[in-house]
Amino acid sequence: MHKTILFLAALLLAAFWLGPIQARCAPWTISSSPANGALFMITDTKSGIASNQPNFTAISGWSSSRLVSPLGMCDLYGAYWIQDGTTSPLGLTASGMSSAVGNYNESGVNYPVYPSSVPGIGFIIKHSIVNPASATVPGGSTISFTPTPSQMSFNSYIAGKLIKTGDIGNVNVSVISLSVAYTLTYTGRFPAEISTASSGGTGTASGNYTIQNVSCSVNTSSLQIALAGVAPTDLPSLNSTAKPTPFNLGLTCPSSTSMAIYMTLTDNSNPGNTGNLLSLSPGSSASGVNLQILRNSGTPTLVNFGPDSSVAGNLNQLLMATGATGSQSFPFLVRYIRTGTLTGGSVNGLATFTMSYQ
């Protein structure tokens, strides 16, 4: 029992990349490429993260590091190769992260998402062995492999990707720390010795993680449109239309962020209205007439009203522009339409528009 305790202690010291080990053999080290003092480093990050980017979506690509791990260890009696007396395959696991905060699916593979040093930013990892070749597995999963009798070391790859997990807030940092451990499990030289060597390390993500405000400002929050007067002769029959009046909705969008702009028009007097007839608002005295709104870009097209919501895919949401930056102006028309027996009086309508930036 005393010998086993000393054996495990020597293994753990050897695997933590510390200084010289007080043992009867030279210490074994684990090297990484690129050599940056970290287990791996994510470098190909975006310069900014959109404030409305959905949670559990990627904010960087994959970045990987190659690890060279020796298959030699020290025990009370000196140096030996792990294969000496090994009776079962070795197991390599990327583990030691904090508890997962969610999951991210990519190409049918489900990756646990682990928290980083910055709230709202997490990461996923995957790893594989080069010799002997293995499949690539997510972090937390173990690769089982058997080295050849003469093999002195093995190469492996560990890769990481950043994932947005929540509200990041106003953060501007250049390095994000990602806590990871690499664990090798094997059967030792003596059949009773089942041992684990852990190579603790920290991954880093280097980049400019600024939060970009992707909302546009409305140039005019309240717009009153004066309609021309209309006579019964202008609306001689049911569904006849008259007196289209143009107006524009203007926005100013950040020049640093290209985005798609969507808009939903809502009937303020009847929010459940999903048709194209705008209800007359309280105070109107005319009857047999309604209003319609049309987009006026190219051939005028009728607008159907929808719920007052900015959620992506909202009913009757209109795509107004893609890759929009700077000043934007969207032309519309409003016109009369006869819907019944005409009675003279005032005609008023009230519509709201809700923007969605995607």
Point out the residues of the chain with pLDDT beneath 70. Answer: 1-40, 43-48, 50-52, 70-88, 95-96, 149-150, 152, 169-174, 181-182, 184-214, 256-259
Residues 186 and 318 placed together within one structural domain of the fold: no
Asked if 112 and 249 sit in the same domain, the reply is: no
Question: What's the rounded Cα separation, in Å, for the pair 32 and 20?
Answer: 19
Paired sense of beta strands 194-212 and 142-145, if any: unpaired
Residues 153-209 pLDDT 10s: 777 888 888 888 887 765 666 677 777 766 766 554 444 344 444 444 556 666 555
- Count CB neighbours of 45 within 10 A: 20
Q: Measuring CA to CA, which residue among 198, 199, 187 is closest to residue 80?
A: 187
Do the strands 102-106 and 109-115 form a parallel or antiparallel pair, or are they unpaired?
antiparallel
Check whether residue 189 and residue 121 sit in a common domain. Answer: yes
Write down the pLDDT at residue 281. Answer: 94
Note the pLDDT of residue 293.
97
Q: Which domain holds residue 257?
A: 217-357
Together in a domain, 125 and 252: no
pLDDT at 127: 83
Residues 206 and 63 in one domain: yes
Determine contact, residues 296/330, Cβ cutoff 8 Å: no
What pLDDT, on a 0 to 100 scale, did the predictor assign at position 282?
92
Measured CA to CA in angstroms, residue 335 lies from 248, 320, 348 at distances of: 14, 21, 12
pTM of the entire predicted model: 0.52
What tens digit of pLDDT does each residue of 312-325 get? Answer: 889 999 999 887 77
The verdict on 169 and 46 lying in the same domain is yes
State how many domains the chain has: 2
Q: Is the domain of 242 the same as that of 133? A: no
Tell me what pLDDT residue 15 has.
Answer: 30
Are 121 and 49 members of one domain? yes
